[in-house]
Structure 1
Amino acid sequence: MRTLIRGMLEFLRMTVLLLFFMGIIGQLENSVVKMIIGREGYDGFRFGGNFMFLIGDLLLFMVFYRNYLQFRGWYTEEAERLPKRVTRMMLGFGFACILLPITIALIL
């Protein structure tokens, strides 16, 4: 029973952290897009720019959570870091997903 409660608390913690992380990163991306491209929001993006930002943000959060935040929570019995190769691949793909819509918008 204790493990179930800890697991539920950790899930709640992870959800709150995800919402907080996505809010901060989303505002940061919005201000960078406005500064670079010169228009507010993601209205001008083609080729699924919003979806690409979402995937990139989720990948970055997953790496940050699995390699750092997971060890500071309530449920740490089965916690283990991502392998270095997987971490590098996820970070690279995440940053590529974030930078690709901005690059396409600058080119077009």
Structure 2
Amino acid sequence: MMKFASFIVELFRLCILLVLTLFILGGAERFVYQSIFGQPVYNWSMAFGNVLIFFMLYRNHFQFKGWYKSEKNVKLTLLTTRIITVISLGLILLPIGLS
């Protein structure tokens, strides 16, 4: 029962971290794009890129700082981390190419 309770608390923590991360990254991107182009730019690809960044951060850092402990918690490989980083940055920069 204790393992299930820690899982529920960790799931709630994950949702809060996701919302905060998307809010912070989205706000920073809007500010940068507004500074460069004079108008805020936001596209679905930027949101998907931010979700990928959150996934990478969670799997490599946040899951080890939470309440739910498991033997299955492992970091992403270096190659996977690099691939996710390149894809997410490409998705974030995609609206520049579409403009």
TM-score interval, smaller chain: over 0.9
**Consecutive unaligned residues in structure 1, runs of 5 or more:** 43-49
2 CA distance for matches of 1:2 and 1:29? Answer: 40
1:39 Cα deviation after fit: 1.0
Structure 1 segments, 4+ long, off by >4 Å, are none
Q: Aligned-residue CA RMSD in angstroms?
A: 1.1
Asked if residue 98 in structure 1 is aligned to residue 98 in structure 2, the reply is no
Alignment length (residue pairs): 98
Question: What stretches of structure 2 of length at least 5 have no aligned partner?
Answer: none
Report % sequence identity. Answer: 33
| Cα deviation, residue 41, structure 1 | 4.3
Deviations 1:8-54 (A, max 9, x none): 11110000001011111111010011011111343xxxxxxx21011
CA distance in 2, matches of 1:9, 1:29: 30
| TM-score under structure 1 length normalisation | 0.86
Q: Aligned in 2, Cα 1:66/1:3: closer, same or farther, shift over 3 Å?
A: same
What is the DSSP-based 3-state SS (H/G/I as helix, E as strand, rest coil) of the residue aligned with 2:73?
coil
